[in-house]
Structures are given as structure tokens and as C-alpha cells.
């Protein structure tokens, strides 16, 4: 439900577009806010209720391909919610308390697992670098 806190042991995925990839590696810019954005868009993997990580990623690929134009090099980064929050809390200068909240989107393309990482700011390069360090797995965004 919208606004639900995603448990620390759960996982979220972030779509990282071409311009955030160099030499096949995701860069910190993938975890920065665009002007006007309130939160960093992610997807709650456990909410998808799939049987495996691969099927979760496949489900997301389907959603992304309907919503967005996916670059050939785009990747999906998987993060553990608790690790991201702990990293920001213990290693950012202002002990940032990030919130990871469910924010389902319904419209032309339904995205029921859509969620957001909140309490980021627009000059948060250091936190973006910290989040990058917590990336656990990466997958090609295209099938």
C-alpha cells in the first residue's frame, strides 16, 4: 500500500540508464535525483511475489519496457534496503535517515511494485557514491 515502509531485509531494484554506465560499470550518477524529483525511483522485488530473483527481474524488464525506452547498455541494480539505509546512516556526514517507501503507480502502464528512496537531496553526490557501494547484483535491463 502506498506509503508502506519496505522492510530492511527486503530488496529494491534501480533501473540505471545508458548514461550512468561506463565500461559496463554502473556509476554513482544512477543514484542521483533529477531536478524536481522527490525520491529515487526503485521497485520492491518481494512485492512482485515471484519464485526467484530471475523471475523478479524478468517481471521488471516487462514493466520497464512498457514504460520507458531502455538503452542497450542499461542495467538493473539490486540493493538490500537495510544495507542502503545503514550505509547512509552510519557513513554520511549528516547521518542521513533514508526512507524506502512503497509508491505504486497506476496509469497507462501499471507499476504496482514502484517505490521510492526518500530523504535524498539534490546535492547528494556523497550519498550516491555510498549507495553505489551497496549494489549487490546487476542485470541487463533488456531481455
Partner 1 sequence: MLGASTVYGDKFIDYHSPSRQLHSGVWDLKNIISQHFLLSVPMHIRSSPTSAVNQENRDVFISRWPEKKDPFTQTDLLANKEEQVQELILEIRTSPSICHGEILATRLVTLFYDAKEEDFANLGIVVASLRNFYNFSQSHTDLKCPTISLTPDNNIYASWRVDQKKVFSVLFLPNGDTRFVIFKPNDLHPERQIRISGTTTTDMLKAEVAPHGVWDWISE
- Interface residues with partner 1 (CB under 8 A) are 17-25, 27-30, 32-35, 37, 69, 71, 73, 91-93, 123, 125-126, 129
Task: Choose among 63, 67, 78: nearest CA to 139.
Answer: 78
C-alpha cell at 81: 534496503
Question: Which CB sits closer to partner 1, 22 or 137?
Answer: 22
Minimum distance from residue 4 beta carbon to partner 1 (Å): 26
* Angle, alpha carbons 142-118-105 (nearest 5°): 50
Question: Which CB sits closer to partner 1, 52 or 108?
Answer: 108
Looking up cell 547498455 gives 73
> In Å, how far from its chain's centre is CA 30?
9
**How many Cβ atoms from other residues are within 10 Å of residue 13's Cβ?**
27
Question: Which CB sits closer to partner 1, 92 or 105?
Answer: 92
Task: Choose among 83, 64, 74: nearest CA to 12.
Answer: 83
Question: Which CB sits closer to partner 1, 70 or 79?
Answer: 70
Amino acid at each position: 500500500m502506498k506509503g508502506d515502509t519496505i522492510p530492511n531485509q527486503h530488496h529494491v531494484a534501480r533501473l540505471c540508464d545508458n548514461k550512468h554506465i561506463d565500461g559496463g560499470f554502473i556509476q554513482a550518477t544512477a543514484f542521483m535525483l533529477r531536478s524536481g524529483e522527490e525520491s529515487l525511483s526503485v521497485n520492491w522485488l518481494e512485492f512482485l511475489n515471484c519464485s526467484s530473483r530471475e523471475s523478479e527481474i524478468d517481471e521488471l524488464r516487462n514493466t520497464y519496457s512498457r514504460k520507458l525506452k531502455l538503452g542497450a547498455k542499461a542495467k538493473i541494480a539490486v540493493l538490500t534496503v537495510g544495507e542502503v539505509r545503514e550505509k547512509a546512516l552510519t557513513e554520511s556526514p549528516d547521518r542521513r535517515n533514508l526512507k524506502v517507501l512503497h509508491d505504486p503507480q497506476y496509469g497507462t502502464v501499471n507499476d504496482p511494485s514502484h517505490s521510492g528512496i526518500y530523504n535524498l537531496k539534490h546535492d547528494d553526490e556523497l550519498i550516491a557514491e555510498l549507495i553505489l557501494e551497496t549494489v549487490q547484483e546487476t542485470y541487463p535491463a533488456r531481455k
